[in-house]
Structure 1
Amino acid sequence: MAEDVPQVTEDFPHMANDVAQRSEDVPQMTTDVDANVAKDLGRDGAEGSHADEGFPGGPRDPSVLTSFAEHVAHAIWTGHERPELKLVSHGRKVALIGRPVPAIEGLVVATGLSPLIECSVVTDDPGLISAFVERWHRETNTFHLPVGDLAITLDDVSSLLHLPISGAFHSFEALSVDEVVFLLMEFLEVSGEEARAETSATNVHVVHLEAFRDLGQSGGYAWGAVALVHMYDQLDEASWTTTRQIGGYLTLLQCWIYEHFLSVHQCVTDDAYEETSPHASRWLTTKAHMKGITGAPYRAHCDAFTVTDVCWFPYSDHRGVRGFELISSFQGQLRWGPTVVAVRPKRVLCQFGYIQSIPPSPVSVSLSYDDIDDRWMHFMHFSDHVVAVGDLCVVLGQVSADYMNWFFQISHPFMIPTQAGDQPRHAPAPDHEDYMQPDIPQVSVAFDPPLTCSGKIVCGFNV
C-alpha cells in the first residue's frame, strides 16, 4: 500500500561546525592524496575547465553538483582509486556488550534511546557501504543512482531504529579542557587524573554528556533527527576523495541499503525477528559473507540498477507498529548542537508514494539556530516547510516525463566507464515488457494511506 505523505518546500545548505573533543567516529581527512589526483583536482577547478563545461561520464551540467571535482566519484571515474573506507562504528560495540542490567536499562528507556539496544548490526560490510558513499552528494544530501535520487529519510530512521523523530534539538558550546574534566568527573565519577588522561583519547564528544544531565529532559529530544544529522554529516565528509574513514551509526546506513536494495547485499534475515521490534533488528550479517567483498562488485551492481531493483516501500508490513508521521516530510534544516544538515524530500518523492518531478535547485540560505529550531518545532504552522502533495504513483518509482533526462544531465548515474574516454550516457528508455507485478501485502496500518485509482500500487517505470 502507498505510504501517506502530506506536503514539500525550501532547500537549505549544509553548515558544519566542529566542537571540542573530536571523536573516533569522525572521518579523518588525510593529505596522502595521489599526486595525479591532486593535479586533476586543480585542473578541474580552474576557470574554463570541467567545473564550467561538465565532466566525462557526467555531470554534463555541473550547476547542481558544484564540488564534483573534489568528489570521490570523479577520482574513481578517472582511474584514481582510493582505499576502501575504514568503518568506525560504536554501534558494533553496543551489540557486542549486549543488554544492560535492568537498573541501567530503565535509565536508558527514560532517554528514548532504548530501541538501540536490540538493533545493532554486528558485522559491517565495508564494500557495500563504500559503494553507496561514492554516490552521496552533499549538495543534494541524496544518493545518485541510475534510477534517480534516493535518501535516508526521517521515516527510515523511525522505522529502522524506533527512535523518536519529533522533539527538541540540543544547543551546546565547545568546552575547554577544564570543563571536559569536570563533566567527566561529575557524570562518570572518575578521578581528575583519569579524566585528564582521557581528554587526549578519541571516542565520543564529551560535550554530548550535557544532553544527559537531566534524563527526563533527554527523553524530549528528537533522537531520530539527531541520528540523521550525524549520518548525513559523516556521509558528506566520506564522499571527499581525501577522506579515508566513515563514522556514525553505521547500522542505520547499512540496514537502509538492505531494506531498499534486496538484490545487492549478502545478508540474511533473522528468523527470531518479531514485527514489534525495530526493523533494523531483522537483519543479520556474517563474516563469511562479508570478508573479501570489495566495493568494485557492488559498483557494477549499482550501475545496473533499474527501478524494479528498488524496494520503494519496505515498511508496509510494519505500519501497524510504526505508522508514518507527518514530520517525516519536513523539508529544511535539522541540527544537533552546531552541526546542521538539510533534508530535501522534494528530491525523493517516489519514496513517499508520489511521482517524481524535477526538484528546485538547492538554495543557499543561512539561518540562525533559533530559526532552525522554530521552523522545526512549529512546522505544522509553516506549510512552506512540508512536502507538497503531488500526483500519486500509479506504479512504484514513477517519474515525470522530463525528470530522468534532467537527472542524467546534472548527475553521474554510473561509476564505471564502459570504455576508455566514455562520455555521459543518456537516460534509458522505459521497458515494462518483462516486468511481473509482485504481491503487495494488504495490511492494517496506523494511518489512512492515499489510494491510487485501483486502491493498490504496482511496480514499474515511466519516463
Structure 2
Amino acid sequence: MAEDVPQMIEDVPHMTDDVPQMSEDVPQMTADVDATVAEDLGHDGAEGSHADEGFPGGPCDPSVLTSFAEHVAHAIWTGHERPELKLVSNRRKVTLIGRPVPEIEGLVAATGLSQLIGCSVVTSDPRLIFAFMERWHRETGTFHLLVGELTITLDNVSSLLHLPISGAFHSFEALSVDEAVFLLMELLEVSSEEARAETSAKNVHVVHLEAFRDLGHSGGYAWGAAALVHMYDQLDKASRTTTWQIGGYLTLLQCWIYEHFLSMHQFVIDDAYEETSPRASRWLMTKAHMKGITGASYRAHCDSLSITNVCWLPYSDHRGVRGFELISSFQGQLRWGPMVVTVRSERVLCQFGYIQSIPLSPVSASLSYDDIDEGWMHFSDHVIALGDLCVVPGQVSTDYMEWLFQISHPFMIPTQAGDQLRHAPTPDHEDYMQPDIPEIPVDDYEGYEAIAERLERVLNLRMVTVGTVT
C-alpha cells in the first residue's frame, strides 16, 4: 500500500481492542545500533563468506533462510541487541469506549466480525511477544524452535477468534487524497472540512472502508485469512534488524502462544468463560492476573523447550463448537488487497496431528491476484499431503531434527567459552506419558463416551485416511 494513502482519524471508535496503527511504514532504528549492525552485515552478509558457509550459531546451510544476514537472530547472536520493539495497538482507547450501542453492534454482526468485540487482551508482557517474534522467518512463514517449526494457522484463527476462514479476498486500490475525502464523507457522513483535516492522521487506512460499503457483501469475506495475512506481514517486518515496532492484531499472536505453550506463562482462565465463545476470550488478561515465568528469560525458556512443553493440539475441547475445516490445511498464497503472504502448512504437520518430515525447500512464486484467488477458491486442490499419524504429539521423523539444525538457528543465546557444544536432540518420546486406554466393559457407558470422543477428535482433525486403524 502506498505510503501516502490517507488514514482514518485517531479518535474514531473501532470494533476491536487491538487495531494496529503504524506511525510509519518505513522501518527505523537508532543510528548507533544501525551502524554496528550494518558493519557486521558487511562481514557476514549475503555477499560475504557466510552466504556459502553458513553463520556461527545460525544456519550452517543458508539455502532455506536466505535473508538470515538481515534477521534479528543474527544480530542477537553477534552481540548487537536492537532497542526493544514498540507494540502498536489501539486497545487502550477502545477499552475506554466500551461496547458499541446495540444498533451498531447489529451492523457489525452482519459483517461476520462481531466476535472481535469481546476478543482483545492486554499485552501485559511484551517480552513474551518478542521471544517468538525473533524466531519468525518470512521464508518459511514459521517460528523456528528447538522442537521444530510452528506457526499460526487458519485453524488457530478460527478457534481463537471465530472468524470465517473461507470466503473471498478483498481487492482495493490506493486512494488519492480527494478520493479518500469523498469516501469518508460518503460512508462516515462527515463534512469535507473534517475529512480533509484528518487525512494525515496515522491509524487505519481509509481504503479499508471499501470493504464495508455493502455490509451484506462484507459478511462474505474470508476475514480469518485477512487476519492471518496481516499477522504474517507484521512478523515478517518485525523480524528484521532495522524494524523498531510491530503492529497487527496482537491478541491473535498472544493467545496463540498461551494455547500452545502453557509453561511460558502463569495465567488465569476466566471462570465466566463458556466454551461456546471464542477461545481468545477465556484468558483473564489484567496485570493482576498475568505473571511471566520466573527463574529464566523467555529466550532461555525457548532455548530449552521439549515436545512435552508444547500443546500440539490445543482445541480438542473446542471442536464441538468450532470444528476443524479442511481449508485450514491449505498451502499457498493468501492476500488482502495488495498484501500477499505464503502459508506453508507442510512445515507444521505436527500441528495437524501428523509426524513431521523434512519439507521441500520453500519456493517463492510470483502469482497474479487472479491466480491467488483462483487457488483459494479451489483450496481442496492445494491442501497438504498428510503422512503418518502421530502416536505421540509432536513426533518427527528420525532425520528431521538433524536437518533442522542445519538450516535453522535453534538457539538464541550464544554459548560462552567452556560451554559444552549443543547438538540436535534425539527425538525421545518416552518422556511423554501417553494416557492408558482402559479395557471397556460391555455395560460401561462412560467408556463408550470416551471412545466416541476420541473418534470425534480424529474425524474433526481429518486424522483418518484410507487404511487408518483407529
Distance (Å, rounded) in 2 between the aligned partners of 1:305 and 1:27: 34
Listed as ranges, the matches of 1:382-461 within 5 Å are 382=381, 385-420=382-417, 425-437=422-434, 442=453, 447=460, 449-450=462-463, 455=470
Q: The residue matched to 2:342 in structure 1 has which SS?
A: strand
Cα distance change, pair 46–106 in 1 and its aligned pair in 2 (3 A): closer
Per-residue CA distance 1:409-438 (angstroms, 9 max, x = gap): 000011001215989842112334444335
Cα distance change, pair 164–292 in 1 and its aligned pair in 2 (3 A): closer
Q: TM-score, normalised by structure 1?
A: 0.88
Residue 69 of structure 1 pairs with residue 54 of structure 2? no
Cα distance change, pair 390–18 in 1 and its aligned pair in 2 (3 A): farther
Residue 198 of structure 1 pairs with residue 198 of structure 2? yes
Higher mean C-alpha deviation, range 142-151 or range 278-287 = 278-287
2:28 to 30, 49, 57: 30
Q: The residue matched to 1:333 in structure 2 has which SS?
A: strand
Where does the alignment leave 5 or more consecutive residues of structure 2 unmatched?
A: 8-19, 438-449
Distance (Å, rounded) in 1 between the aligned partners of 2:316 and 2:2: 37
Distance (Å, rounded) in 2 between the aligned partners of 1:102 and 1:234: 33
CA displacement at 1:196 relative to structure 2: 1.2
Cα distance change, pair 85–447 in 1 and its aligned pair in 2 (3 A): same
CA displacement at 1:287 relative to structure 2: 2.0
Q: Which runs of 4+ in 1 moved over 6 A?
A: 16-19, 291-294, 421-424
Q: Contact 1:142 / 1:151 at 8 angstroms: preserved in 2?
A: yes
Per-residue CA distance 1:156-199 (angstroms, 9 max, x = gap): 00000000000000111000011111111111111112111211
Q: The residue matched to 2:263 in structure 1 has which SS?
A: coil
Listed as ranges, the matches of 1:7-406 within 5 Å are 20-21=5-6, 24-25=21-22, 29-33=27-31, 34=33, 35-45=35-45, 47-91=47-91, 93-288=93-288, 297-380=297-380, 382=381, 385-406=382-403
Higher mean C-alpha deviation, range 90-99 or range 218-227 = 90-99
Q: Contact 2:268 / 2:290 at 8 angstroms: preserved in 1?
A: no
Per-residue CA distance 1:379-427 (angstroms, 9 max, x = gap): 23x2xx1111211111111111111100110000110012159898421
Distance (Å, rounded) in 2 between the aligned partners of 1:157 and 1:19: 31
Where does the alignment leave 5 or more consecutive residues of structure 1 unmatched?
A: 1-15, 456-463
Q: Contact 2:110 / 2:219 at 8 angstroms: preserved in 1?
A: yes
Question: Using CA pairs below 8 Å that are at least 6 residues apart, which structure has the higher relative contact order?
Answer: 1
Q: Give the RMSD, CA atoms, in angstroms.
A: 2.6
Distance (Å, rounded) in 2 between the aligned partners of 1:414 and 1:131: 12
Q: Contact 2:164 / 2:224 at 8 angstroms: preserved in 1?
A: yes
Q: Contact 1:266 / 1:290 at 8 angstroms: preserved in 2?
A: yes
Distance (Å, rounded) in 1 between the aligned partners of 2:84 and 2:386: 41
Which amino acid in structure 1 is aligned with residue 393 of structure 2?
L
Q: TM-score, normalised by structure 2?
A: 0.87
Distance (Å, rounded) in 2 between the aligned partners of 1:371 and 1:413: 35
**What residue is the counterpart of 1:13 in the other structure?**
none
CA displacement at 1:67 relative to structure 2: 0.6
Q: Contact 1:335 / 1:341 at 8 angstroms: preserved in 2?
A: yes
**What residue is the counterpart of 1:460 in the other structure?**
none
Per-residue CA distance 1:191-244 (angstroms, 9 max, x = gap): 112111211110001000000000000000000000000000000000011111
Q: Contact 2:44 / 2:69 at 8 angstroms: preserved in 1?
A: yes
Per-residue CA distance 1:73-97 (angstroms, 9 max, x = gap): 1111111111221111235544553
Q: How many residues align?
A: 437
Q: Contact 1:85 / 1:244 at 8 angstroms: preserved in 2?
A: yes
Cα distance change, pair 243–199 in 1 and its aligned pair in 2 (3 A): same
Distance (Å, rounded) in 2 between the aligned partners of 1:148 and 1:401: 13
Distance (Å, rounded) in 2 between the aligned partners of 1:431 and 1:19: 54
Cα distance change, pair 214–439 in 1 and its aligned pair in 2 (3 A): farther
Per-residue CA distance 1:317-375 (angstroms, 9 max, x = gap): 00000000010011100000000000000000000011101101111211000000011
